[in-house]
Amino acid sequence: MQVEALPSSVRSAVQSHRYGGRRIGLVPTMGALHVGHVSLMDAARRECDFVIVSIFVNPLQFGPNEDFECYPRTLERDLQKCENAGVDLVFTPATSQMYGSGAESIVSLTSLTRKLEGRHRPDHFDGVTTVVAKLFNITVPDKAYFGQKDYQQQLIIRRMVSDLDWGVEIVTCPIVREDDGLAMSSRNRHLSPADRASSQILFRALSLAQNLTQAGSESPDAIADRMQQLMAGVQGVEPDYAVVVDCDTLEPLVEQPERAVALIAARVGKTRLIDNQILRFR
Amino acid sequence: MQVEALPSSVRSAVQSHRYGGRRIGLVPTMGALHVGHVSLMDAARRECDFVIVSIFVNPLQFGPNEDFECYPRTLERDLQKCENAGVDLVFTPATSQMYGSGAESIVSLTSLTRKLEGRHRPDHFDGVTTVVAKLFNITVPDKAYFGQKDYQQQLIIRRMVSDLDWGVEIVTCPIVREDDGLAMSSRNRHLSPADRASSQILFRALSLAQNLTQAGSESPDAIADRMQQLMAGVQGVEPDYAVVVDCDTLEPLVEQPERAVALIAARVGKTRLIDNQILRFR
């Protein structure tokens, strides 16, 4: 397994494979890899000939009061997991390599990025789209793999790729969960034992939404209300939002749809968690 | 010569050439091709194995009160010029193909785009960077060719490519001029005979700047003043700016530099013209 810190090294490593007509797969990550990330690597390994994982804690997507400084960094273990997953190349750039002096270009969306997470984390998605654009340009992948856990993020990346014509197929992989339903996240390791117990409420709220959808008796708005009520009762949990919205636009639903997405964000102790579930109405 | 209107057709046409290791050259244009454009095609033809010209009058880079509607469109003649120049593929997308419904992604710069042309044409450069990003992603060129006549534009494209890591080399080709010095521009055909005579003042002002620079007696600011004075006296010419600034940042010069760029914009009759000249101080 090749480990490269320089964009130029990655570019030339990839180029020879591309000229050979091999399919390049990219898994962009911020490291602190867990089973969810490994499922992305496994998918890339099945579908591509040359698998790249990028590990970069991207300062541009953290707000001034967010957890950039204490975001978990576990490079040695991450590299071992990549090796075990059969990854071909790991790209581990330094911040100075990614954002040189005078850098001033951003990729941004004017609508999707303003909703939900965007309201609570201004500029977050501009940081995400900008770094993903850079990673796409450095690695020029045929396919790139994102987790459904960051639902809004994968939607924004899909929109960006479609709007700006990158020749990459976006693959969204299912959420991987702990035994009790908590969605895998690098931030879970910050949860205290008490937080960890409280955090189950996110999955329970989404399960309630799914049960109510299957029962077929309640509207999307009523389901969202029931999720909010359930979460409101839990000590140490401060919900940011719990909504049921259009799968593509994240807009409120005007009619009963066939599909919708339930999205939740909440602060559990000092840790902010997000989760979601696709709902299928009858 | 292949002519394609669909991004997907261009992408697949280019792909086979890229896999063969051939060098792809892109000349992005808005059509109404003139000798300046042909010089870009000639440079691409010399340096690349497969030359693409895009012809697209990009609505995103025109302001609401600008000349999008009456921008010259001469497709048949343009295609003939491309054919004569040995171009391999001409990309002629429709607006609906370039900006599909719901498109909301833009590439923008936060500093270079706000100066000079950016002050007089708000959002202009966001339109340029966004469409050029799309063209880069559709054609994935090894080299792309821009004219020095749009000095600020080529500087912005270079910055964008460097910031966001496109694997394309930007080549800036010299300004091509009419016999009397007027820089070639698709908009020159809008000049009345009287406007056409007045328009010579732009080149005369730049020549004055060059002479003063070579004489070595005046500061950059004094040279800019002299250009402004010269232009102020001409009937039918309304200068927007005439400056001597840093070649890379477009900022005012603090010390006497080795090189600087003189940049001029003026409205001549109803037509807005720009021109520039690199100055070398002793």
- The predicted-structure confidence for B146-185, as pLDDT tens digits, reads as follows 999 999 999 999 999 999 999 999 999 999 999 999 999 9
Task: Please tell me which of the candidates A102, A107, A138 has its beta carbon nearest to residue B107.
Answer: A107
CA angle at B72 for the pair B66 and B76, rounded to the nearest 5°: 155
Q: Which CATH number fits domain B186-276: 1.20.1440.60, 3.40.50.720, 3.40.50.300, 3.30.1300.10?
A: 3.30.1300.10
Contact B107 A164 (CB under 8 A): yes
pLDDT of residue A255: 83
* Span A138-189, pLDDT tens digits: 999 999 999 999 999 999 999 999 999 999 999 999 999 999 999 999 999 9
A110 CB neighbours in chain B (<8 A) are 104, 106
User: Which residues lie closer than 8 Å to B68 by C-beta, 6 or more apart?
Assistant: B57, B59, B62
pLDDT of residue B255: 83
pLDDT of residue A202: 98
Token pair in block for residue B50: 């497969």
Contact B7 A107 (CB under 8 A): no
Contact A164 B137 (CB under 8 A): yes
| ipTM of model | 0.96
Q: Which residues of B43-77 are buried (b: 16+ CB within 10 A; e: fewer)?
A: bbbeebebbbbbbbbbebbbeeeeeeeebbebeee
* Span A87-111, pLDDT tens digits: 999 999 999 999 999 999 999 999 9
- Please name the CATH architecture into which domain B2-173 falls: 3-Layer(aba) Sandwich (3.40)
pLDDT of residue B282: 78
CA–CA distance, A85 with A12 (Å, rounded to integer): 23
Phi and psi of B146, rounded to 5°?
Answer: -130, 155
Catalytic residue list contains B37:
yes
Task: Please tell me which of the candidates A108, A109, A167 has its beta carbon nearest to residue B11.
Answer: A167
Mean pLDDT of all residues in chain A? Answer: 96
pLDDT of residue B256: 81
To test the contact with chain B by mutation, choose from A165, A170, A248 the residue with the greatest count of B C-beta atoms within 10 A, namely A165
Chain B CA closest to residue A21: B19
Q: Which of B17, B34, B37, B124 is catalytic?
A: B37
- A15-20: average pLDDT: 81
To test the contact with chain B by mutation, choose from A60, A96, A104 the residue with the greatest count of B C-beta atoms within 10 A, namely A104
Give the H/E segment covering residue A52: strand A50-55
- The class of domain A186-275 in CATH terms is alpha beta
User: Which residues lie closer than 8 Å to A15 by C-beta, 6 or more apart?
Assistant: none
Task: Please tell me which of the candidates B104, B162, B167 has its beta carbon nearest to residue A110.
Answer: B104
Determine the distance in angstroms separating the CA of A163 from the nearest CA of chain B, rounded to an integer.
5
pLDDT of A78 above 90: yes
Chain B CA closest to residue A103: B163
- B126-155: average pLDDT: 98
pLDDT of residue A227: 98
Determine the distance in angstroms separating the CA of B35 from the nearest CA of chain A, rounded to an integer.
30
* Span B220-251, pLDDT tens digits: 999 999 999 999 989 999 999 999 999 999 99
pLDDT of residue B28: 98
pLDDT of B140 above 90: yes
* Span A31-75, pLDDT tens digits: 999 999 999 999 999 999 999 999 999 999 999 999 999 999 999
CA angle at A125 for the pair A123 and A127, rounded to the nearest 5°: 75
A165 CB neighbours in chain B (<8 A) are 7, 134, 137-138
To test the contact with chain A by mutation, choose from B24, B161, B164 the residue with the greatest count of A C-beta atoms within 10 A, namely B164
Instruction: For chains A and B, count residue pairs whose Cβ atoms are closer than 8 Å.
Output: 85
CA–CA distance, A55 with A91 (Å, rounded to integer): 6
pLDDT bracket for residue A195 (50, 70, 90): very high
Long-range contacts of B242-248 (CB under 8 A, 24+ apart): B242/B205, B242/B266, B243/B116, B244/B209, B244/B220, B244/B279, B245/B116, B245/B220, B247/B278, B248/B155
Give the H/E segment covering residue A120: helix A117-120
pLDDT of residue B15: 87
pLDDT of residue A256: 81
pLDDT bracket for residue A15 (50, 70, 90): confident
Contact A110 B106 (CB under 8 A): yes
Q: Which of A37, A120, A124, A190 is catalytic?
A: A37
Determine the distance in angstroms separating the CA of A174 from the nearest CA of chain B, rounded to an integer.
26
Q: Which residues of B touch A (CB under 8 A)?
A: 7, 11, 18-19, 21, 100, 102-112, 129-130, 133-134, 137-138, 140, 159-160, 162-167
Mean pLDDT of all residues in chain B? Answer: 96
Give the whole-number percent of chain A exceeding pLDDT 70.
100
pLDDT of B115 above 90: yes
pLDDT of A21 above 90: no
To test the contact with chain B by mutation, choose from A22, A105, A248 the residue with the greatest count of B C-beta atoms within 10 A, namely A105
Contact B167 A140 (CB under 8 A): yes
Give the whole-number percent of chain A exceeding pLDDT 90.
94
Count CB atoms within 10 A of the CB of residue B154.
19
Contact A105 B159 (CB under 8 A): yes
pLDDT of B202 above 90: yes
pLDDT bracket for residue B128 (50, 70, 90): very high
pLDDT of residue B233: 83
Contact A105 B140 (CB under 8 A): no
Determine the distance in angstroms separating the CA of A15 from the nearest CA of chain B, rounded to an integer.
10
Question: What residue ranges do the domains of chain B occupy?
Answer: 2-173, 186-276
Contact B105 A103 (CB under 8 A): no
pLDDT of B19 above 80: no
Measured on CA atoms in the order B177, B219, B281, B245, is the torsion positive or negative?
A: negative
Q: Which residues of A touch B (CB under 8 A)?
A: 7, 11, 18-19, 21, 100, 102-112, 129-130, 133-134, 137-138, 140, 159-160, 162-167
